[in-house]
Every structure is written in C-alpha cells, then in structure tokens.
C-alpha cells in the first residue's frame, strides 16, 4: 500500500502541497482528480523523489520509500519523455534493466508489451519516427515493462484517440486486477467515473474528497433534477426556492436542489408551464461532485 501522509511543499510563497494525505491499496485503481495547479503532479513527483517535500512522509508497505523501493514503481510523467533517437525495443529493455530486471527478462517483457500495444512491427525503429499516439504507447510500456507493484500515471488519457483511451483503460484495470496499486490523474471525469470505484480530489494542495465514487455522490448535500417539458416558456424554473439552474435548453432543464427545496412544489410549477415528458431526480454525477468540492 502506498501512503502519502501530510505532505507539504512550498515554492516561494506558493504552497503546491499543503497537508496532502491519501492512500492507494494494492489492487485498487484510484482516480486522482483536481483542477490545474492543485498539486497533482507535485504529489506524484514526490512519490518518485523528483520533488523533495518540505514536510510529511511517503511510505510503501509501511516502510519509508527509498531508491530501492522505487525500482518496483512505474511512472508515466505528464510531460512525456523518452530518448528520441534510441530504438524502441532497446529503449524498453533499458528501462526494464534500470529497474533491476535481467537482460533476458527485460527483452522478453519488452517484446510482449510491444505486441500487446500493437507496435511490434516498429520495434527496431527510432522513437522519433513514431506517431504521437504510438509514442504515447511506448511511454506506457516504459512504465510497465518491469511489471511494477505501484503504477503512477499523470494524465495517461490526454491526447489519445477513442481507441487509445479504451485500450489504456483496459490495461490500467488489468494491472489493478493483477494486484498492482494504480493511481492516475485525469480531467476526463466521465472516464474516471466509468473506470474507478475510488477517487481522491485535491484542491490547493490538500485532499478535499476521498472515497468510493458512489458514496461521494450519495454524500453530497445536493440532488439534481432533470425535467423535460414540451410547450411553455423556458424560464419556468426561475425563482424556485432552494433550486438553482445548472443548464437549460431544448426544453430540458437541470436543476441543483439543496435540502430546502420542495420537490412537490417544483413538480407543480413544471406542470403549469407545459407537458412534463421526463422527470428524474438523482445524486450529482462525478463532475458535479468535483465542482462542488473545488468550489468552482
């Protein structure tokens, strides 16, 4: 299990991490969310010793993380980077061996991953000759080649086409199912909601939400109401106490209700305005939970 405990990191007057704590268990696929500049990348870099926290502890299986422990970690940084002129297979073998694999094992695994990711026929090409999407695949393979116990990926879905997104998602789920602790950051919240049972949300350097997606949604003080009516004026929901319009258009209205809102009264207003086609009442989706948590 990976534990980040009360991490603090300041750059001048700016606090990149301000008491950040969370855990990733083996077998867990954890979504790590937060607006830009919230501290996601800093926290991930701290795991790999690329940032030295001013304060706090980082542990793996209850031991302080050392250079030795990190050999069992795999990292895909946000800013992709590999050796552009190095041959692809050779490059993966190199990273495998840097993480302590034998030459034979590294070669074998590298070939397997190239096969799996559909770039086997480019194995002796140079990285710089590949398309952007394929370079991204190699970057993933470089993080995976030594079959790490902990896999940390910074925005792994950014810049992938729908097929790439799907295969990336499959691989991450599969690694978690195989017993690795997997944590990744993303801004694509629908995707995270599909893939992950658990998320943590960081804002201004500290964790503001942490838990299973379903619980976080249920725990929200707000409920969302979708109403579709035909005929009638579109501004019917204005001035309903306890309700706030989230979106409106094409006869559909999405309202955010706090606990003072009277559902019966809203139904009455809606029926007065036109014929109600659809009426659904549900907890917020992950994006809405996220927005509530970061206050934007």
Partner 1 sequence: MRPLTSLLLVAIRDFKERVMSRAFQFSTGLTILLVIAVIVAPSFFDSVGGVQWTIGTVGEVDPAMVEQVTATAPIADVTVDSTAFDDLAAAETALEDGDVDIVVAPGQIVVNDATDPTLMALVDASLMAAGALDRAATLGLSPGDLADLLTGDYEIRKIGADGTGEASNRAFAFGATVFLFISIITYGQWILIGVIEEKTNRVVEVVLGAVRPHTLLAGKILGIGVLGLAQLIVVGGIALVGLRIQDAFDVPTATAAIALAVFVWFVLGFAFYATAYAAAGSLVSRQEEAQNVAFPMTILLMIGYFVASFSLAGENTVLRIASLLPPFAPMTMPMRMASGEASVWELTLSLTLMVCAVYLLIRLAGKIYSGALLRSGAKVKLRDAWRAAEG
Chain residues binding partner 1 by CB under 8 A are: 45, 48-52, 67-68, 70-71, 73-75, 77, 79-86, 94-95, 97-100, 142-143
Name which of 153 and 286 has its Cβ closer to partner 1. 153
The distance of closest approach from Cβ of residue 64 to partner 1 in the complex, given in angstroms and rounded to an integer, is: 14
Rounded least distance, CB 71 to partner 1, Å: 6
CB of 68 to partner 1, least distance (A): 7
Which is nearer to partner 1, 84 or 241 (by Cβ)? 84
Considering the complex, what minimum distance in angstroms separates the CB of residue 267 from partner 1? Answer: 55
Pick 105 or 208: Cβ nearer partner 1: 105
Instruction: Encode the chain in three state secondary structure.
Output: CEEEEEEEEEECCEEEEEEEEEEECCCCEEEEECCCCCCHHHHHHHHCCCCCCCEEEEEECCEECCHHHHCCEEEECCCCCCCCCCEHHHHHHHHHHHCCCCHHHHHHHHHHHHHHCCCHHHCCCEHHHCCHHHHHHHHHHHHHCCCCCEEEECCCCCCCCHHHHHHHHHHHHHHHHCCCEEEEECCCHHHHHHHCCEEEEEECCEEEEEEEHHHHHHHCCCEEEEEEEECCCCCCCCCCCCEEEEEEECCEEEEEECCCCCHHHHHHHHHHHCEEEEEEEECCCHHHHHHHHHCC
75 versus 224: smaller Cβ distance to partner 1: 75
CB nearer partner 1, residue 124 or residue 259: 124
Least distance (Å) from partner 1 to the CB of residue 285? 33
């Amino acid at each position: 299990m990976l534990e980040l405990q009360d991490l603090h990191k300041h750059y001048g007057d700016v606090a990149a991490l301000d008491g950040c704590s969370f855990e990733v268990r083996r077998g867990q696929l954890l979504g790590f969310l937060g607006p830009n500049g919230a501290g996601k990348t800093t926290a991930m870099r701290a795991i790999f010793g690329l940032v030295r926290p001013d304060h706090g502890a980082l542990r793996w299986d209850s031991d302080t993380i050392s250079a030795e422990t990190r050999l069992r970690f795999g990292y895909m940084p946000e800013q992709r980077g590999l050796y552009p002129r190095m041959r692809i297979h050779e490059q993966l073998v190199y990273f495998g061996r840097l993480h302590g694999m034998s030459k034979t094992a590294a070669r074998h695994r590298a070939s397997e991953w190239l096969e799996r990711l559909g770039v086997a026929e480019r194995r002796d090409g140079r990285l710089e000759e590949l398309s952007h999407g394929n370079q991204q695949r190699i970057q993933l393979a470089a993080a995976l080649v030594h079959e790490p116990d902990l896999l940390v990926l910074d925005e792994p879905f950014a810049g992938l086409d729908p097929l790439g997104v799907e295969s990336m998602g499959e691989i991450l789920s599969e690694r978690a199912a195989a017993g690795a602790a997997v944590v990744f950051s993303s801004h694509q919240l629908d995707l995270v909601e599909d893939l992950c049972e658990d998320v943590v949300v960081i804002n201004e350097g500290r964790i503001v939400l942490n838990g299973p997606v379903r619980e976080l949604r249920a725990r929200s003080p707000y409920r969302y109401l979708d109403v579709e009516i035909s005929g009638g004026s579109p501004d019917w929901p204005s001035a309903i106490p306890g309700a706030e319009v989230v979106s409106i258009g094409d006869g559909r209205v999405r309202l955010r209700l706090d606990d003072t809102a009277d559902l019966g009264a809203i139904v009455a207003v809606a029926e007065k305005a036109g014929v109600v086609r659809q009426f659904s009442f549900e907890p917020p989706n992950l994006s809405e939970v996220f927005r509530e948590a970061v206050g934007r």
